[in-house]
Amino acid sequence: MQNNILKLSFCLGISILVLSFTLRIHHPCTEQHKVTIQFRHFAGMEALILDSAVYNNDLGQSFRITKLKYYISNIHLIREKGGDLEVNSSFLIDDRDEKTKKITISSVPEGSYSSMEFILGVDSLHNCNGAQSGALDPINGMFWAWNSGYVFLKLEGKSPSSTSPGNMLEYHIGGYKSPNNCIRKIKIAFPGKLIIDTELRSNSIELKADILEILKTPVSIDFSKLSSVTDFHNSTTIADNYQDMFSLLNIRSEN
């Protein structure tokens, strides 16, 4: 009986090996299909420049930005015929570090993609998973020790209208538990489709992240009244604002 099971397992093993080689021969390009997502930071129509550039919020209050960091997680590329590509990991985007603004997704299956989705923030599972590394390493300064959970977005700067010491603006938004859940699902429709087929192309999706949107729609932030958010007070106000901070700039598919 044991002998037969051994023989069966051996045959099964060989079959799987042969099958996997066969599959590879039929689809040699699967592993080579990449899509890059490039984030470009703006303040309205102007490219975001930290420290020196002066911008105006919706109420005409001037300000500068000294920090922009945020988590993007669980990117889904929605395929027309179903079988979406899901990349269920987190990326930390830091305006001061150019390379973090480019996310490369490998092994994209062939198909026609009509839209993408991702969350701004870190999902509740990963907020509870304990010590993690990489983008979710607490050494990145995006984790609250006193109330476990990731800081989903940090926007810091200065404004003469701010009533905080040093005229500081400090928006640290986090929290994954209702009623202070600041995770926001972002949906980006593609006006034209993103086609991944057997042709080798360089595919890139360029997204605009507009920091002015963090400070408005639906609520225009008045720096003289709200220059600092560092716990659940007013956090969802900012989260509801940043819900619409992303838009599509361009989809490029070049040979």
Partner 1 sequence: MTSGFMDDNPYFRITAEDVTLKVPAGFPRPLYNFKTNRLTPEIFTLGRTLFYDKLLSKDNSVSCGSCHQRIAAFAHIDHALSHGIYAKIGTRNVPALQNLIWKDAYMWDGGVNNLEIQPLSPITNPIEMDETLENVISKLKHDKKYVMLFQNAFHDTIIDSKRLLQSIAQFTGLMISGGSRYDRFLEGKDTFSGSEMNGLKLFRSKCENCHKEPLFTNNSYRNNGLKPDPSLKDEGRAKITGKEEDRYRFQVPGLRNIEMTYPYMHDGRFQKLRDVVNHYSNPKNFDNRADRSLQKIGYLTDREKDELVAFLLTLTDKAFLYDRRFADPDFQ
Choose which of 102, 185, 187, 233 interacts with partner 1 (CB under 8 A): 233
Distance CA 80, CA 112 (A): 6
- How many angstroms separate the most distant Cα atoms in the chain? 83
Closest contact distance (angstroms) between CB of 22 and partner 1 is 35
Residues within window 148-177 making contact with partner 1, judged by CB under 8 A: 148-149, 177
47 lies in the binding site for partner 1 (CB under 8 A): no
Choose which of 137, 160, 163, 220 interacts with partner 1 (CB under 8 A): 137
Closest contact distance (angstroms) between CB of 176 and partner 1 is 10
- Give Cα separations from 165 to 154, 169, 188, 227, 240 (angstroms): 18, 9, 38, 10, 26
Q: Which two tokens stand for residue 56?
A: 């105006």
Distance CA 86, CA 108 (A): 10
Segment contacting partner 1 by CB under 8 A, of 38-46, 96-104, 140-148, 152-160: 140-148
- Per-residue contact flags (x/-) with partner 1 for residues 81 to 120, judged by CB under 8 A: ----------------------------------------
Closest contact distance (angstroms) between CB of 143 and partner 1 is 7
Choose which of 1, 28, 47, 146 interacts with partner 1 (CB under 8 A): 146
143 or 190: CB nearest partner 1: 143
162 or 236: CB nearest partner 1: 236
Q: Which two tokens stand for residue 64?
A: 């500068």
3 or 133: CB nearest partner 1: 133
66 or 132: CB nearest partner 1: 132
Choose which of 28, 130, 192, 218 interacts with partner 1 (CB under 8 A): 130
Which of 240, 239, 236 lies closest to 180 in space, CA to CA? 236
Distance CA 123, CA 90 (A): 9
Letter for the amino acid at 19?
Answer: L
Closest contact distance (angstroms) between CB of 147 and partner 1 is 5
SS3 of residue 79 by DSSP: strand
114 or 180: CB nearest partner 1: 180
Neighbours of 19 (CB within 10 A): 10
- Give Cα separations from 20 to 16, 27, 28, 153 (angstroms): 6, 11, 12, 43
Closest contact distance (angstroms) between CB of 180 and partner 1 is 6
Closest contact distance (angstroms) between CB of 233 and partner 1 is 8
- Give Cα separations from 120 to 74, 176, 191, 220, 247 (angstroms): 9, 11, 22, 20, 13
Question: Which residue ranges make up the site for partner 1 (CB under 8 A)?
Answer: 127-133, 137-139, 143, 145-149, 177, 179-180, 232-233
